[in-house]
């Protein structure tokens, strides 16, 4: 399930990184002006977050302790990403501003917990 979560995160990142209003593929609820003003490092942070999550899940499948570090990197990137969005008003509406970030943060914390438990039980080497 965590590999699918990582793949979904990468898919959503790709959609965000390739949006183009001239093609008409920007949803009506999307604040295009705000999105254009987002600094380049934000997309890099976003890529690090979803990439580390996916790689951490693949490391778990390979029974590697590298999953621990990758999940911590992913959580740090998630905190930076949503911290920036909260600080600059990039999230609007209760679902976008509260539910989605809380769910993503919860999954990131769960990944760290699961990797830690797997390490303590000797499942990861």
Write out the chain's pLDDT in tens, 125 residues.
999 999 999 998 988 887 765 655 556 555 666 677 788 899 999 999 999 999 999 999 999 999 999 999 999 999 999 998 888 877 766 666 788 889 999 999 999 999 999 999 999 98
Q: Helices (H) and strands (E) in the chain — how many of each?
A: 6, 0
Looking at the structure of the chain, the number of domains it has is 1
Residue 23 lies in a domain: yes
Whole-model pTM: value is 0.85
Backbone angles phi, psi at 29, to 5 degrees: -80, -5
Provide the residue range defining the domain that includes 24. Answer: 2-120
Does residue 125 form part of some domain?
Answer: no
78 vs 52: CA distance, rounded Å? 11
């Amino acid at each position: 399930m965590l590999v699918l979560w990582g793949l979904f995160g990468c898919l959503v990142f790709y959609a965000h990184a390739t949006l183009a209003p001239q093609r008409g593929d920007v949803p009506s609820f999307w604040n295009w002006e705000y999105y254009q003003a987002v600094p380049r490092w934000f997309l890099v942070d976003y890529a690090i977050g979803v990439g580390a999550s996916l790689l951490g899940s693949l490391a778990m499948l390979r029974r590697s302790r590298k999953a621990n570090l990758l999940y911590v990197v992913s959580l740090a990137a998630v905190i930076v990403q949503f911290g920036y969005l909260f600080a600059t008003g990039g999230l609007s509406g209760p679902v976008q501003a509260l539910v989605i970030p809380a769910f993503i943060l919860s999954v990131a914390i769960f990944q760290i917990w699961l990797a830690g438990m797997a390490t303590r039980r000797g499942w990861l080497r």
